[in-house]
Structure 1
Amino acid sequence: MASKVGIISLGCSKNLVDTEIMLGLLNRAGYEITGAQDNADVIIVNTCGFITPAKEEAINTIFETARLKETSGLKALLVAGCLSQRYGKILLDEMPEVDGILGTGAVPDIAGLVELALQGERFCRVASPAYAHTPDMPRILTTPPYSAYLKIADGCSNRCSYCAIPNIRGDYRSRPLEAVISEAESLLEQGVREIVLVAQDTTAYGMDIYGRRKLAGLVRELAVLGVPWIRLMYCYPTGFTGELIKVMADNRNICRYVDMPLQHASPRMLKLMNRRGSPEEIKELIAELRRAMPGIALRSTFMVGFPGETGEDFEELISFMKEVRFERAGVFKYSREEGTPAGDMSGQVPARVKEERYHRAMKLQQEISLEQNSALVGKVINVLVEEEPSGRSNLYRGRSEMDAPDIDGLVLFTAVKSAPRPGDLVKVRVNKAYEYDLRGELS
């Protein structure tokens, strides 16, 4: 009888793709994949190790899972992903409950490492974080069947002063364009209707292997394939080209949506963060995107409490948010990380001040988001159906093309004359707006 293996995936969408590849490799090797943790012989916790809260979540999950050795006969517990790559043998030495540590470069070896663990060997396999995700690697999707992430690159070479990702994932490595297109074709054959492009910096795609930015060419080829929705995430502002904007504007199956993490709007803070691009240049880019694609939803992420951030710096951020009025935005508090330049900087901001700034920025964004959503009342928008009504509810649940999976809002709607299914693309007339979500009826 085949051993049963389950995986708990934590962290970002890039990590989730690694989880899906490991599932595919394990399945191909003859292991039985199970989603029932109390029925597994082996459980792999694929961790995030980016910031302190993510590390704490990972450690708590490892300890909770280890209890299954006593309650349900779990034979081996493996820890993979960014936390493993970052701390390696320290984890193995300090957590006797763990049977094996796998770095981010060990994904292709997962089947053999599971076998080692089942044979009773305790190991730490952390080396180079790089591995090549090739078209012949199987992948089992864990997302809904109509939506999938497509990782176009791994690692990062930007060296932002607060970020440990280059240490964990290595330098930026683009996948060959042909490999990405081949995987996209496979996803389409499986019935995927929304492909979400992810990398640490999608706009840097191609620089390392082609010597120039190739995201525009990649997106153009994906659009020709007939992917109903193509969504761009993690776009670095200085990486946008006129060609990319034109490709997006010319192809209606590219979602009118861009995720563009900016982190701050104070020139002094951006310099300390080692971020390229001035607030003026960013404003020009935003205006250009909105001119080229009226109605586009722009999403950003901002950090408060970075070392040395003064009240004046924070007010510059608030003024920027008020002026630009992002349709979507998230705010998070700076986390001091060892091994990063920012971790050694003086002027660390007190937790109380970080908390105050976080709540003020989020409150502002909620007000902006409500105003932006309210402007959609009476309009017809494109929606991807995600859930049918359940119980006594008559509401369908979906996402507009202005909403990325897992991080943005929902569209709740009624349908009288037809019964759409999950994965269908429909038109919904908006009749009510909230801070993050919309309500409407099938048009």
Structure 2
Amino acid sequence: MSKLKVGVVNLGCDKNRIDSEIIIGNLKETYEVVNEPENADVILINTCGFIETSKQESIDTILEMSRYKENNQCKVLVATGCLTQRYGNELLELIPELDIILGVNDYDKLNEAIERALDKGEKSCYTNYSDSNINSGKRIVTTGGTTAYIRISEGCNYQCAYCAIPKIRGKYRSRTIEDIVAEAKELAINGYKEVILVAQDTTNYGIDIYEGQKLHVLLQELSKIKSIKWIRVLYCYAEELTDEIIDEFASNDKVCKYVDIPVQHISDDILRAMKRRGRKAIILENIEKLRRAIPNVVLRTSIIVGFPGETEENFNELLEFARTVKFDKLGVFMYSQEEGTAAAEMGNQIDEEIKEERYHKLMALQQGISAEVNKKKVGRIYEVLVEEKQPGEYIGRNYEMSPEIDGEIFIKCDKIINMGEFINVKIVDALEYDLIGEVVNNTNK
């Protein structure tokens, strides 16, 4: 008897991706996992519920997948993730095509819930809340054969006024160094050469299970894995960057000189209203420390415009900050009024038109900065990880580029290069966000 087919649709961040990979790993023992939802007997959507646009995308995707139930191809429709953790039974009422609702800590109940839905037509809704559990299990990595994400902690202890993550994911809790290193070793055995460490806040890794921040110790241990070539760290709080962490970034050859510090704003008035821990002075001080300690460091940040009470003066201060610091990479988000957060109840909400105007103004400024930064790279030679082949060229990344969120390098080459190879590439031209290069002294690694 052939196995039932299950299709998984992942939405949202890379931490969600890891959850989806764990779900797929668990399902694969019982079901056949397929890439095309139209061929699946069971469809699971791992939703995002961080901001309004992501919630809408999640609902739209559920509705799109529900159409496969019309021809009886899909027998069970499942939704899990952040949106379901927040809204649970409301979603079952809103979308009656759904059969199973799972929160972010309930993946162990999935197989049993599918069996009940198939055998008895029973609907299930689990949205248990956990401040201790970290989803784990055998993962089926979905990012190809070279790069994989590793979650080093779950949850968050901060109470930023705009963010619902602590209510969805619980308190900050770290995995042990031994557990993380064991996962990285298994990835290395399976051919992965770049590991990307993720958490709500990577800088505070270890504060709950060790005596203080231990990100630098974790990096030291991971760097001992011979076949891991790049270790990339995302989501560092600028104000929590200790000298030990900065020194480890600077001295460890395997750690990409790429620091993602989502500052969100620079005006102390707005940072205070956001309930952010950092202030302008410490953010600027640590940016200077990073650039002084790591001359070739690439800095990425995220900014929120249109937070309640943001004045024109506050925004102009933010523009000047971006103009002066010249981040290599900068993402901009318009503030989203999320129910259940402190900011949603604040007065002085900003009109959508003003948010959009500020968004476009900051993005236009950053586009010029990015073009200027990239132009300086023409003539330089980088080690590049090749990830894709197109007619007449290859596409890859250097240490300055995180997958899916940054630019790429388009490589002119008429020779055969294997995917996952590291090659030397000379930059010959630059666009606003991407680079164009040609192979030099091609010694595959």
TM-score by length of 1: 0.96
Deviation at 1:370, TM superposition (A): 0.5
- Distance across 1 between alignment mates of 2:131 and 2:45: 19
Deviation per CA, 1:305-332: give whole Å up to 9, x if none.
0000000000000010011100000001
Structure 1 stretch displaced more, 304-313 or 210-219: 210-219
Residue 255 of structure 2 aligns with which residue? 254
Structure 1 stretches of 4+ moved >6 Å: none
Do structure 1's residue 419 and structure 2's residue 416 form an aligned pair? yes
Deviation per CA, 1:173-214: give whole Å up to 9, x if none.
111111111101111111001100000101111111113111
Residue 40 of structure 1 aligns with which residue? 40
Residue 402 of structure 2 aligns with which residue? 404
SS in 1 for 2:70: helix
- Distance across 1 between alignment mates of 2:260 and 2:115: 40
Residue 169 of structure 1 aligns with which residue? 169
Residue 441 of structure 1 aligns with which residue? 438
- Distance across 2 between alignment mates of 1:265 and 1:134: 34
Equivalent pair of 2:161/2:274 in contact (CA under 8 Å): yes
- Distance across 2 between alignment mates of 1:72 and 1:256: 51
Residue 115 of structure 2 aligns with which residue? 115
Do structure 1's residue 383 and structure 2's residue 384 form an aligned pair? yes
Match for 2:290: what amino acid?
A: L
Equivalent pair of 1:129/1:168 in contact (CA under 8 Å): no
Percent sequence identity over aligned pairs? 46
Do structure 1's residue 70 and structure 2's residue 67 form an aligned pair? no
TM-score by length of 2: 0.96
- Distance across 2 between alignment mates of 1:95 and 1:143: 31
Structure 1 stretch displaced more, 275-284 or 19-28: 275-284
Which consecutive unaligned segments of at least 5 residues does structure 2 have? Answer: 441-445
Deviation at 1:293, TM superposition (A): 1.4
Residue 31 of structure 2 aligns with which residue? 31
Q: Number of aligned pairs?
A: 437
Do structure 1's residue 102 and structure 2's residue 99 form an aligned pair? no
Deviation per CA, 1:314-351: give whole Å up to 9, x if none.
00000100111000000010000010000000000000
Which consecutive unaligned segments of at least 5 residues does structure 1 have? Answer: none
Equivalent pair of 1:108/1:131 in contact (CA under 8 Å): no
- Distance across 2 between alignment mates of 1:342 and 1:109: 34
Residue 303 of structure 1 aligns with which residue? 304
Equivalent pair of 2:196/2:232 in contact (CA under 8 Å): yes
Match for 1:419: what amino acid?
A: I
Equivalent pair of 1:5/1:33 in contact (CA under 8 Å): yes
Deviation per CA, 1:109-159: give whole Å up to 9, x if none.
322222222222101111114564477x21101111100000011111111
Trace 1:182-193 onto structure 2 (pairs within 5 A): 182-193=182-193
- Distance across 1 between alignment mates of 2:394 and 2:409: 8
SS in 2 for 1:105: coil
- Distance across 2 between alignment mates of 1:220 and 1:316: 38
Equivalent pair of 2:132/2:173 in contact (CA under 8 Å): no
Deviation at 1:276, TM superposition (A): 1.5
Residue 60 of structure 2 aligns with which residue? 60
SS in 2 for 1:121: coil
- Name the Cα RMSD after superposition: 1.2
Match for 1:69: what amino acid?
A: K
Trace 1:273-292 onto structure 2 (pairs within 5 A): 273-292=274-293
SS in 1 for 2:410: strand
Structure 1 stretch displaced more, 65-74 or 108-117: 108-117
Equivalent pair of 2:19/2:135 in contact (CA under 8 Å): no
Equivalent pair of 1:101/1:123 in contact (CA under 8 Å): yes
Deviation at 1:22, TM superposition (A): 0.4
Match for 2:268: what amino acid?
A: P
Residue 443 of structure 2 aligns with which residue? none
Equivalent pair of 1:107/1:131 in contact (CA under 8 Å): no
Deviation per CA, 1:73-92: give whole Å up to 9, x if none.
11010100000000011111
